[in-house]
Structure 1
Amino acid sequence: MPKSKIDVVFVLPSLVAGGAERVMSLVAKNLNTKDFKTTLVVIGYEREKAYNVDGLHVIYLNQPRVVKGIPKLYKFISKNKPDVVVSCMSHLNTALALILLRFPKIKLINREANIKKVTALYYGSQKSFFGNVLKKIADKRTNAIICQSQDMADELITELNVPKSKVTVINNPISDAFKLASNKKNDEIKKYITVGRLHEEKGHLRLLNVLSKLETPFKYLIIGTGEWEDNIKKHITELDLEAQVEFVEYTDQIPQYLEYSDLFLQGSYAEGFPNALLESCAIGTAVIAFNAPGGTNEIVEHGVNGYLAKNEKEFLEYLKKLNENPLDSKKVSDSVFTKFKKDKIVKQFEDLIKQVFQK
């Protein structure tokens, strides 16, 4: 007699504010209950959670790091023996794959969060020989890999020799908090915004270079925290932009900040799939981004919801253009909801889980 529901467990290192945490908790919470029995296992602590998981069965292992949580994670899997495990972030993916060597009937789906060559460049994440051996073993044990963007999938297949049959592209969904807003603007002083970690990879310095050449009044809000903060503030001082730039740490008021902004600016040298840029479009606030590896070019439709720039000079030209002729906010919003609305993306996850389970 066939099982009535697929027992699927999502595993995350924590529920702190972050793109992977938001997407995975949202998908887990919204899988249909007719076909799936869903559990979210979090290595970290409930007190750290930044996302609403009401109505979802959540188990916190209350450990500070993934490596510390492995014994409890092994015990949970050994006791519950789910049909499918869905993991995210490479160190957790590897740990789960190694655990599941003991449980060959359990299927494993891993979600990739980054483009590997960019991670190695900016974070020095080259693995040791032993680490590479573990990764190869883990890749063989993995039944399917979810990539956020086509660029990410292409890298895995062509450069890291992952079998194409294992790779699926599923973009990130728009969460319920981001919907077309009234977009109340101040025409006299333009308001720009960037949301994301303060890190070299995110390209804040080149955005500031562009803004320093702008001759019209503006205010620029940077939301985020990170180790690059001092470098960014130093560059602001060098460019004499202190009066125009403001910093805000992580906040749950991002939808409101995006609504009252005229443009979202993205300086990244690479992205997995830029959630903040997607969310800005969802609200109706157009974007300008540098054309970089990752999912940015799958979101930005040239002249519809924003522009992709090749360099700082072109970025400045698009900025001036949108200052004078803003894009229609409804068209900006519609352009992303057509492709990335929550129900559509969750359905893609459901289809993949069923496909992997039935193999």
Structure 2
Amino acid sequence: METKTKTDIVFILPNLLPGGAERVFSFIAQNIDKTQFNATLLIIGFSKDASYDVEGINLVFLEKSRVLNGTIPLFKFLLKHKPDIVLSAVGHLNTIMAYMSLFFPKTKFIAREVTVLSVDVDFFKTNSFDPWSLIIKKRFHFFDKIICQSQDMQDDIIKNYTIKPEKIVVINNPITDHFQLKPEPPSEGVVQFITVGRLSKEKGYERLLKILSKVEFPFHYTIIGNGNQKEAVLSLVDEYNLTDKITHIHFTKEVSKYLAKSDFFLQGSYYEGFPNCLIESCSVGTPVIAFDVPGGTKEIIEDGVNGYLMANEADFLEALNHSKSWNPEAVRKSVYSKFNRTKIIQQYETLFNDLINA
């Protein structure tokens, strides 16, 4: 009988559209040690929507429009291939995987959460009764391990979902690309601001635009992203008479180029999981001005080193007006020392090996 030498891991995502979980999962799956692991990236959604290039691993698309529609094909896939480890991300998919794990007792199931859950629930809370809320809340008890992207996420799950600390591991997101350090920024001219991220309510674009409407020096603001708040955001651009100062880009694979041309990355979020866009901005040497909110932002930003963390809109505006010379090399070093790809991949590999050998 042939002895099995590698661990089979299936990484599962709802889709491969632009997003933090999609970028990180596709990166980890492609870069973990191929002498130890056989990786498969399984996507519930459509191959035509793939925004990231995936090479060197098994890539499977179920070609389904919704996670719920992919449940049976996904179950059949796991039944056929019997992986050692299944790693899923995003709340609704994690809920399905939690209860599916009951049918695969020999497989280790890992959930990777993407935000500070209790804050997210409160932010979008409605008065209507949600019969699925208890099922969703109990999902963590069925996983062998839960990956949190930040310390705030871990603390939130332990406190609000009664999960034991030893069941959780904090692994930050890695710097996924080889970002080129930009040259020293020019000392004068139109100040270039940028935000990269989903156009959704929790991202706080409305308060960024409100603040920018009060800026009195010449500036240009580039927004890269799409989402269900696109029309609302663009309407506010008109309302604040900022049309000639703002460029909106739906999607681009050249994000690093735009980051390098910018003087500051602006983050308006009310909460975050672990914002990839901030470490990417710092990776090219562009500092960040952000609000001090729940999530991983505070683990990335070192005040005065690679940006500022602001308590309110008045302080944020003051930071925009503050004159400081930033060293791109120092900004870059602040994140590479903590979130470099080698370090984060090793943390994932250690987690996988510990689970298999437990």
Match for 1:179: what amino acid?
Answer: Q
Unaligned runs of 5+ in 1: none
The TM-score normalised by the length of structure 2 is 0.95
Q: Does 1:196 align with 2:201?
A: no
Post-superposition shift, 1:185?
Answer: 4.2
Query: Mean Cα displacement is larger for which, 229-238 or 102-111?
Result: 229-238
C-alpha RMSD over aligned residues: 1.8
Which residue matches 2:37? 36
Mapped to 1, the partners of 2:222 and 2:129 lie a distance apart of 36
Which residue matches 1:45? 46
Which residue matches 2:285? 284
Which residue matches 1:88? 89
Unaligned runs of 5+ in 2: none
Mapped to 1, the partners of 2:261 and 2:310 lie a distance apart of 23
Which residue matches 2:328? 329
Match for 1:18: what amino acid?
Answer: G
Which residue matches 2:135? 133
Indicate the percent of aligned positions where both proteins have the same amino acid: 43
2:154–2:170: 8 Å Cα contact kept in structure 1?
yes
2:111–2:145: 8 Å Cα contact kept in structure 1?
yes
Match for 1:42: what amino acid?
Answer: I
Post-superposition shift, 1:184?
Answer: 5.5
2:91–2:113: 8 Å Cα contact kept in structure 1?
yes
Post-superposition shift, 1:239?
Answer: 2.3
Post-superposition shift, 1:100?
Answer: 2.0
Post-superposition shift, 1:233?
Answer: 2.6
1:180–1:282: 8 Å Cα contact kept in structure 2?
yes
Query: Mean Cα displacement is larger for which, 181-190 or 14-23?
Result: 181-190
Q: Does 1:349 align with 2:348?
A: yes
Which residue matches 2:270? 269
Mapped to 2, the partners of 1:209 and 1:291 lie a distance apart of 18
Which residue matches 1:339? 338
- Partner of 1:117, secondary structure, is helix
Mapped to 2, the partners of 1:350 and 1:111 lie a distance apart of 15
Mapped to 2, the partners of 1:14 and 1:213 lie a distance apart of 39
- Partner of 2:342, secondary structure, is helix
Match for 1:17: what amino acid?
Answer: P
Q: Where in structure 2 are the equivalents of 1:25-174 lying within 5 Å?
A: 25-124=26-125, 128-133=130-135, 135-136=137-138, 138-174=139-175
Post-superposition shift, 1:131?
Answer: 4.5
Query: Mean Cα displacement is larger for which, 119-128 or 155-164?
Result: 119-128
Change (3 A) 1:127 1:105: farther
Match for 2:150: what amino acid?
Answer: S
Mapped to 2, the partners of 1:146 and 1:26 lie a distance apart of 16
Which residue matches 1:176? 177
Post-superposition shift, 1:177?
Answer: 4.3
- Partner of 1:58, secondary structure, is strand
Post-superposition shift, 1:92?
Answer: 1.1
